[in-house]
Copies of this chain bind each other. A is one copy, B any other.
């Protein structure tokens, strides 16, 4: 299942989604969802996470120091191709 997260940790629905994520689910942090990686990385532990790089970089963060895989929009399409189910 592809889980799209577009708000940061202040959003209760995003927190619900992340808690619900099974180890095999593909989480994608996009838009302000990237703030989970910045301020609450603990919530991502043990999860399969990818970050949309253009959204991450536009907010001033550097790909170099990022421990999660980064994807561009073409890469996001690949993740969408791989996951027929979605939670978004």
Q: Chain A interface (Cβ within 8 Å of chain B)?
A: 10-12
Main secondary structure of the interface of A (DSSP, over half): loop
In angstroms, how far is the closest chain B Cβ from the Cβ of A5? 15
In angstroms, how far is the closest chain B Cβ from the Cβ of A18? 15
Provide the residues of chain B in CB contact with A12, threshold 8 Å.
Answer: 10
- Whole-angstrom distance between the alpha carbons of A11 and B10 in the complex? 7
- Specify the chain B residue showing the minimal Cβ separation from A11: B10
**3 A-B residue contacts at CB 8 Å?**
A10-B10, A10-B11, A10-B12
In angstroms, how far is the closest chain B Cβ from the Cβ of A30? 20
Provide the residues of chain B in CB contact with A10, threshold 8 Å.
Answer: 10-12
Q: In the A-B complex, list the 3 residue pairs whose CB atoms are closest, starting with the nearest.
A: A10-B12, A10-B10, A10-B11
